[in-house]
């Protein structure tokens, strides 16, 4: 492994690796009154001899079409990211502990005291899928492009501003980023303002994006999102496959990338189809697909299928209810919190959290596979999740008291509270269209809020198609007061990218000095010490619970159905997993039917 740390102890501070191993096997553990029950093994080996010429059939389970933004630097939702995963790749690999290692395109060496990281490509012979050479310039180009004020994506955040000279470049005060130092065509040094433990983690403080400079340097950044190199078969990546054909929003046919740096994929062809959650069980039963992440709400209908094996993993994702309290200012790149917004009263937010019965919803709607998360740092991150934090358990009486204490009282006898000024209080709530279970969950939320005296109305009278939903949330639609969304967290628990002042993904727009201070402690050199890190995360989790700008709701277990013609599959976290896309083998011409 080439990822090294160089440091000296100062003032008794021991700098240690931040991450600890995740338990990947079947387990049961208590997390603040929340129990993880992993129902299935984490890997499977099927009988049969691998054959050549078969096509992997992959089901992307979604009730909405994918947008078709096919590069990671611009995609903003998990559906597009799933499509991208066959074509695009980051520069770094990582091990089973989420720690950066040398299994990717490049290795990284940290000098903690010197506040630098040296990135070195592991080969001088890498190529993009179009056959053009891949060099360190492509990495520097991606880093710099995301920092450019003309960049239209949502990746620019505190992590980029931690690079020396990035803010000046972003503000147009410099023509290059001084902290991105090219050493030669295959290596460079990054100079940071501050070192943080998350720099060492996959998806953490060091950018993982790499772009084909020879293509994108000739396209204005404002036009990237509509470019044929982002939305068509012309997309160029460094992943295991190339795109042969796209049916917009519905299907993608991939063929093996002969230039893939880990070797040409064993299965030469893949067809990805979008399949609705209502149809995925019958489609898997009929043997139409090889792999699918299955909906928890339908577990009873597929748990006994004979033509697939189910494998499980703890989900690095969570659902939440959040409160819209400001706007994002594109000119300053900062979130602007409005202390006079409808949802700015902390008691009101807490009351809405205690009004929800998430434990019962998880059991009744999701067969216990999903359950209440005690924290915005989900139990997937066992190293830093606070097991002592109970979170928002169901307590309608406490909810009513919180409302009354803050002056939200029913002054006209209709059973619904008015605001502290005695004015009618109507709260607009937005949610995504997903499956029947989600529709049931949304209606349960509305009912539970009504039971504590809150007039919460579903925005537009119905749930929103997922792409439209996030467009409205990201654009700070003033008609939306509260919304139910979901995050895939990646492998870095640091919440800065979702809840800081400069995070575009901080859709709540909540900002205050204490939040900034606590996020800073999580990202500090002090946090390299494992015990300090846990302490800092605990502080932030308790603070976030008290401020309640976002209420964590459901998290739990992710289940993948693996058709029995797939030779081997594992939920191993590492980028060098033995069932990585390029290693998947098939033992029959078509998937096995029930």
What are phi and psi for residue 373, nearest 5 degrees?
Answer: -90, 135
How confident is the model at residue 6, as a pLDDT? 33
The DSSP string of 567-589 is: -EEE---STT-TT-GGG--BSSS
Domains of the chain: 40-308+563-583 (3.40.190.10), 323-556 (3.10.105.10)
Is 175 a residue whose pLDDT tops 80?
yes
d(CA 114, CA 4): 13
Can you read off the two tokens belonging to residue 540?
A: 């932030």
Is 13 a residue whose pLDDT tops 80?
no
Write down the residue that tokens 């005690």 correspond to: 374
Average pLDDT of span 353-376: 95
How confident is the model at residue 577, as a pLDDT? 84
Write down the residue that tokens 């990281």 correspond to: 117
Residues 6+ apart with CB under 8 A from 593: 285, 286, 287, 307
Is 308 a residue whose pLDDT tops 50?
yes
3-class state of residue 285 by DSSP: helix
Bridge-based pairing of strands 550-552 and 187-191 is unpaired
pTM: 0.80
pLDDT band at 488 (very low <50, low <70, confident <90, very high): confident
How confident is the model at residue 32, as a pLDDT? 33
Q: How does the average pLDDT of the chain come out, rounded? A: 91
Average pLDDT of span 397-416: 97
pLDDT band at 24 (very low <50, low <70, confident <90, very high): very low
d(CA 505, CA 5): 31
pLDDT band at 37 (very low <50, low <70, confident <90, very high): low
How confident is the model at residue 31, as a pLDDT? 32
The string of pLDDT tens digits covering residues 87-130 is 999 999 998 888 999 999 999 999 999 999 999 999 999 999 99
The string of pLDDT tens digits covering residues 337-357 is 999 999 999 999 999 999 999
Beta-sheet strands, E only, within 339-469: 370-372, 426-431, 455-458
pLDDT: which is higher, 382 or 142: 142
Is 3 a residue whose pLDDT tops 50?
no
Report the DSSP beta bridge partners of residue 312.
Answer: 559
To the nearest 10 degrees (0 to 180), the angle between helices 358-366 and 436-451 is: 150
Is 266 a residue whose pLDDT tops 70?
yes
The per-residue b/e assignment along 450-469, b for 16 or more CB within 10 angstroms, e otherwise, is eebbbbbebbeeebbebbeb
To the nearest 10 degrees (0 to 180), the angle between helices 530-547 and 513-522 is: 160
Assign 3-class secondary structure to 29-93: EEECCEEEECCCCCEEECCCCCCCCCEEEEEEECCCCCCCCCCCCCCCCHHHHHHHCCCCCCCCE
Average pLDDT of span 429-455: 96
Can you read off the two tokens belonging to residue 531?
A: 């015990």
Is 171 a residue whose pLDDT tops 90?
yes
The string of pLDDT tens digits covering residues 505-532 is 999 999 999 999 999 999 898 998 999 9
Write down the residue that tokens 């575009």 correspond to: 504
Report the DSSP beta bridge partners of residue 58.
Answer: 272, 291
- Least confident interval from 14-28, 152-166, 242-256, 285-299: 14-28
pLDDT band at 26 (very low <50, low <70, confident <90, very high): very low
The per-residue b/e assignment along 535-558, b for 16 or more CB within 10 angstroms, e otherwise, is ebbbbbbeebbebbbbbbbbbbbb
Instruction: In the chain, count H helices and then E strands.
Output: 16, 26
The per-residue b/e assignment along 128-144, b for 16 or more CB within 10 angstroms, e otherwise, is bbbeeebbbbbbbbbbb
The alpha carbons of the chain give a radius of gyration, in whole angstroms, of: 24
Assign 3-class secondary structure to 493-511: CCCHHHHCCCCCCCCCCCC
Average pLDDT of span 532-545: 97
């Amino acid at each position: 492994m080439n990822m090294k740390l160089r440091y000296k102890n100062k003032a008794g501070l021991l700098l240690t690796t931040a991450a600890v191993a995740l338990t990947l096997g079947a387990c049961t553990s208590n997390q603040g009154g929340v129990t993880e029950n992993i129902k299935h093994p984490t890997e499977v080996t099927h009988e049969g001899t691998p054959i050549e010429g078969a096509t992997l059939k992959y089901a992307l389970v979604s009730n909405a079409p994918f947008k078709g933004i096919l590069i990671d630097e611009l995609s903003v939702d998990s559906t597009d990211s799933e499509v991208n995963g066959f074509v695009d790749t980051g520069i770094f690999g990582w091990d089973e502990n989420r720690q950066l290692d040398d299994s990717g395109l490049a290795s990284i060496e940290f000098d903690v005291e010197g506040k630098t990281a040296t990135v070195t490509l592991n080969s001088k012979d890498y190529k993009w899928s179009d056959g053009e050479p891949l060099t360190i310039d492509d990495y520097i180009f991606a880093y710099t492009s995301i920092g450019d004020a003309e960049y239209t994506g949502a990746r620019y955040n505190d992590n980029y501003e931690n690079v020396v000279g990035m803010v000046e470049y972003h503000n147009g005060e410099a023509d290059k980023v001084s902290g991105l130092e090219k050493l030669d065509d295959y290596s460079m040094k990054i100079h940071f303002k501050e070192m943080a433990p998350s720099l060492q983690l996959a998806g953490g403080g060091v950018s993982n994006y790499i772009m084909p400079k020879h293509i994108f340097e000739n396209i204005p950044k404002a036009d990237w999102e509509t470019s044929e190199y982002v939305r068509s078969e012309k997309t160029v990546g460094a992943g295991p496959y190339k795109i042969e054909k796209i049916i917009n929003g519905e299907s993608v046919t991939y063929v093996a990338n002969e230039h893939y740096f880990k070797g040409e994929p064993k299965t030469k062809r893949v067809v990805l189809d979008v399949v609705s959650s209502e149809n995925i069980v019958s489609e898997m039963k009929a043997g139409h697909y090889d792999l699918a992440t299955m909906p928890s709400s339908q577990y009873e209908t597929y748990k006994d299928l004979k033509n697939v094996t189910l494998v499980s993993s703890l989900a690095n994702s969570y659902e939440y209810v959040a409160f819209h309290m400001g706007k994002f200012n594109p000119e300053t790149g900062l979130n602007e919190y409005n202390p006079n917004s409808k949802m700015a009263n902390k008691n009101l937010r807490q009351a809405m959290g205690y009004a929800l019965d998430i434990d019962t919803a998880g059991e009744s709607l999701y067969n216990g596979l999903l359950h209440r998360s005690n924290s915005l740092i989900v139990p997937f991150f066992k190293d830093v999740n606070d097991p002592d934090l109970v979170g928002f358990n169901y307590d309608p009486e406490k909810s009513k008291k919180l409302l009354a204490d803050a002056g939200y009282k029913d002054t006209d006898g209709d059973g619904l509270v008015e605001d502290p000024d005695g004015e009618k209080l109507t709260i607009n709530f937005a949610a995504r269209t997903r499956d029947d279970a989600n529709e049931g969950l949304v209606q349960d939320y509305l009912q539970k809020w009504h039971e504590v005296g809150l007039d919460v109305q579903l925005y537009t009278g119905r749930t929103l198609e997922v792409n439209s939903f996030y467009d409205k949330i990201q654009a700070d639609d003033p008609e939306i007061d509260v919304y139910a969304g979901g995050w895939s967290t990646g492998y870095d628990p640091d919440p800065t990218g979702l809840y800081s002042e400069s995070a575009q993904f901080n859709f709540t727009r909540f900002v205050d000095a204490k939040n900034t201070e606590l996020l800073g402690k999580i990202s500090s050199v002090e946090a390299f010490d494992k015990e300090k890190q846990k302490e800092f995360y605990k502080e932030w989790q308790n603070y976030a619970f008290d401020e309640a700008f976002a209420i964590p709701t459901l998290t739990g277990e992710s289940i993948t159905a693996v058709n029995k013609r797939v030779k081997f599959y594992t939920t191993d976290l590492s980028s060098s997993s033995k069932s990585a896309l390029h290693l998947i083998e098939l033992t029959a011409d078509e998937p096995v039917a029930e």
